Amino acid sequence: MFDIAVIGLGLVGSAALRHLALSDASVVGIGPGEPTDWSVNSGPFASHYDSGRVTRRLDARYEWAVLASRSIAQYPEIEAQSRLRFHRPGGFIFVRNDPIGIEQQQAVIERLDLPVVATTTDAVRDEFQDYEFPSQWTALYEPSPAGHIDPRVMVKAQLTVAHQLGASIHRKHVTTLQRTAGGFSIELSGGVAVQAARVLLATGAYLNDLAPEPLAAQVVPEAVILAAVSPAEATRLSYLPSMIYLLDHPIHDDVYIVPPVLYPDGVHYVKMGGSIGGVEPLATSAEKRTWMSGSDADDQIGWMRDVLLEVMPRATFEQFVMKPCLITDTPHGLPYIDEVADGLFVAVGGNGHAAKSSDAIGALGASLAINGTWTDPDLEALSFRAVFGEYEAPRDSRHGT
């Protein structure tokens, strides 16, 4: 019988397990690793199966900026203890042309005194010659430690440290969760059962599979284009910061780029992600599986390659590969970190932002599961409250924050 079980060992769950393992509680983490062959995976997928994620403190939402700041401050310790490097502090640039969004970001920059330089795309053209942006747009530049992270390695690092600290880990998925007199009985794929007094759900896009009451959320398909570059070209482009660019496009809102990263297949890729305009949410696990295990993301290659070649016209790309992914949106645009039933807690709902901030989100989930009450001095519980029932979309675009 464990004191606390974490279900879902993605970015948030693995972080929560590390923070729980720092306490006196006996803890277990349960969640599958990345499938070797996505096309035949019968279990849940994840939103971190990639080697590049933008990391930044700059944000239009105070809460996201605080979560990112706290997490980035933890990166060196996690890297040192796990001996795994996942952070590349190469800087970050946000390119946009919408006064309201710029104002919102400026307000958070001032409130948190972030070292962000507000300038124009013309002014940064000389410094980042391999990026091409419209003239006279706003460019908000954030230096190191902003840059990018490798989410696959970050999950591994968190779990390595959690295990060093005494946490038990099962690389299986949970099929059923039942309340018992002493807490919960947790059935794993393969038939093993685990008992725990309390449970923290960190199941990402599968937030409603084990939740007692439906949480308001939408899971939307997102696509990534990976553009292969030679090792020499990867070195040449390595000076570039990661970036988000709010497009002036009739259908698609935004794209974000991570400069060349060496992927597990031994190839360096520039990675560009982008929100697919007008796409239908994925309501069932079967729909999520069809998107993640299939090739529907290939349909997005046209516009994504065009935008990438427009933004990086001087780069030499050798090949383009499309990858599917899942984004979990909540109505208030922040993760749910809350108790949804007696002894059952959630830390879910990344809204396309949680990779960089996953350590702080995991820490808040862990603290709530241990203490049973919200103890954070700066962030309000209300901001992260669980909302049940139907999903109502927030007004502004996801990456506009």
Ligand X SMILES: Cc1cc2nc3c(=O)[nH]c(=O)nc-3n(C[C@H](O)[C@H](O)[C@H](O)COP(=O)(O)OP(=O)(O)OC[C@H]3O[C@@H](n4cnc5c(N)ncnc54)[C@H](O)[C@@H]3O)c2cc1C
d(CA 339, CA 332): 17
Contact 118, 106 (CB under 8 A): yes
Identify the three-state secondary structure at position 298: helix
Point out which span in 45-53, 98-106, 259-267, 301-309 binds ligand X (CB under 6 A): 45-53
Contact 387, 367 (CB under 8 A): no
Choose between 261 and 267: whose C-beta lies nearer to ligand X: 261
Interface with ligand X (CB under 6 A), residue from 5, 6, 30, 161: 30
Binding flag, residue 7, ligand X (CB under 6 A): yes
The residue nearest ligand X at its CB is: 10
Show the site string, 318-357: x = touches ligand X by CB under 6 A, - = not: -------xxx--------------------x-x-xxxxx-
Binding flag, residue 358, ligand X (CB under 6 A): yes
Point out which span in 2-10, 79-87, 190-198, 387-395 binds ligand X (CB under 6 A): 2-10
Task: Tokens for 315, please give them.
Answer: 């780069």
Choose between 268 and 353: whose C-beta lies nearer to ligand X: 353
Choose between 200 and 202: whose C-beta lies nearer to ligand X: 202
CB of 53 to ligand X, least distance (A): 4
Q: Where are the beta strands (DSSP E) in 285-341?
A: 319-329, 336-341
Interface with ligand X (CB under 6 A), residue from 2, 86, 133, 206: 206
Contact 395, 329 (CB under 8 A): no
Strand partners, 200: 6, 345
Choose between 147 and 183: whose C-beta lies nearer to ligand X: 147
Binding flag, residue 209, ligand X (CB under 6 A): yes
Choose between 210 and 237: whose C-beta lies nearer to ligand X: 210
Residues in 53-92 at the binding interface with ligand X, rule: CB under 6 A: 53-54
CB of 353 to ligand X, least distance (A): 5
Residues in 253-282 at the binding interface with ligand X, rule: CB under 6 A: 256, 273
Interface with ligand X (CB under 6 A), residue from 2, 10, 159, 184: 10
d(CA 196, CA 370): 13
Count the residues of the shown chain that bind ligand X, applying the rule CB under 6 A. 40
d(CA 367, CA 185): 22
- Amino acid identity, position 134: P
- Amino acid identity, position 97: N
Binding flag, residue 19, ligand X (CB under 6 A): no
Choose between 91 and 352: whose C-beta lies nearer to ligand X: 352
Contact 206, 60 (CB under 8 A): no
CB of 232 to ligand X, least distance (A): 26
Identify the three-state secondary structure at position 99: helix
| CA-angle at 47, arms to 41 and 49, nearest 5° | 65
CB of 140 to ligand X, least distance (A): 16
Interface with ligand X (CB under 6 A), residue from 29, 44, 147, 365: 44
Choose between 205 and 334: whose C-beta lies nearer to ligand X: 205
Point out which span in 134-142, 199-207, 338-346, 389-397 binds ligand X (CB under 6 A): 199-207
User: What Å distances lie between residue 161 and 22, 79, 356, CA to CA?
Assistant: 10, 9, 18
CB of 285 to ligand X, least distance (A): 9
Contact 337, 304 (CB under 8 A): no
User: In 3D, which of 262, 269, 345, 329 has the Cα closest to residue 47?
Assistant: 329
Residue matched to tokens 């685990």: 194
d(CA 396, CA 401): 8
Identify the three-state secondary structure at position 177: strand
d(CA 171, CA 189): 10
Binding flag, residue 174, ligand X (CB under 6 A): yes
Interface with ligand X (CB under 6 A), residue from 18, 20, 29, 31: 31
**H or E element that contains 193:** strand 193-201
Which positions lie near ligand X, rule CB under 6 A? 7-13, 30-32, 44, 46-48, 53-54, 173-174, 202-206, 209-210, 222, 224, 256, 273, 325-327, 348, 350, 352-356, 358
